[in-house]
Amino acid sequence: MKQVNWIEITRWSARLVSVLLLVLTLVIFFGEGLPAFAALTATEILMMLFFGLMAAGLVWAWWHPIAGGALTLLAFLFFAGVNLVSSGSLPGGWVFPLFPLNGALHLVYGFQLYCCRRFENQP
């Protein structure tokens, strides 16, 4: 009987969700067009910065899952914090919770990989 490789399942699940999130982000970004940066408030600029860092974390996680997952989670925490301070509520919608969940999934994969490699190198 073939054994299930949970590390590969975790890896490809994290990658699939990150690609879907990045494609959705690009579709919305190019569909709405570039904002007039001169008209943006400091809060909006900060939120765009942290959203960009979340997206960068998703890309980085393909090569360095622990670092990319951590960047995604930290950027989301700052993004949500700025949103909470400015509007009094957390980011709404179904898509925003997918960012930290995907970051956590990349972290799980990274730690699975780390533990597996460490176990293989023991005498």
**Cβ neighbours around 86 below 10 Å, total:** 14
Cβ atoms of 53 and 99 within 8 Å: the answer is: no
Classify residue 111: in a domain, yes or no. yes
Confidence of residue 3 (pLDDT cuts 50, 70, 90): low
- What DSSP designation does 2 have? P
pTM, entire model:
0.86
Number of domains in the chain: 1
Interatomic CA distance for residues 16 and 97, integer angstroms: 16
Closest CA to 112 of 10, 2, 3: 10
Mean per-residue pLDDT, 51-71 = 96
- What DSSP designation does 96 have? T
Closest CA to 76 of 41, 57, 100: 100
Write out the residue range of the structural domain in which residue 49 sits. 6-120
pLDDT at 79 over 60: yes
Mean per-residue pLDDT, 68-75 = 97
Classify residue 1: in a domain, yes or no. no
Tokens 């569909």 sit on residue: 31
Classify residue 14: in a domain, yes or no. yes
